[in-house]
Amino acid sequence: MKAKLDAGTVKKRNPITEQVMRAEAERMAKEAIAEMNRENEAELDAMVLYILHTEFGFGEKRLRRFYDRFSEGLRELGERYAMNEYDEKIWLCQRKLKEAGIDISKWEEEDG
């Protein structure tokens, strides 16, 4: 069965409106991802600091030094390599470790 349309009911596409809507949807998606990354970063920070404290005896002063240096290191990497996304910085850290002979992806595979 074919639907009949009057010439007056056919809507014309407006490429500018579509482009604006796409850009807004992309902005909203990036904003949501950034928020998730911030939440994940906070959880990861807490977990790493907790393990350094419980397994390696880091006290508040050493934990703070580690935390500050780690944050500074991520900022430096981002600036040096023009990376703004946390995942890109992690990728670079993994690559630099691999260049030093430390392949943490193998550790992840071993942990299964």
**pLDDT digit string (tens) for 26-72?**
888 877 876 776 777 888 889 999 999 999 999 999 999 999 998 88
- Three-class secondary structure assignment of 33-102: HHHHHHHHHHHHHHHHHHHHHHHHCCCHHHHHHHHHHHHHHHHHHHHHCCCCCHHHHHHHHHHHHHHCCC
Write the pLDDT tens digit of every residue in 3-34: 555 555 556 677 778 778 888 888 888 778 76
Least confident of 47-56, 62-71, 76-85, 94-103: 76-85
Residue-level pLDDT at 19? 79
Q: Helix 15-56 vs helix 86-99: angle between axes, to the nearest 10 degrees?
A: 50
99 to each of 53, 102, 104, how far by Cα in Å? 29, 7, 11
Residue-level pLDDT at 50? 96
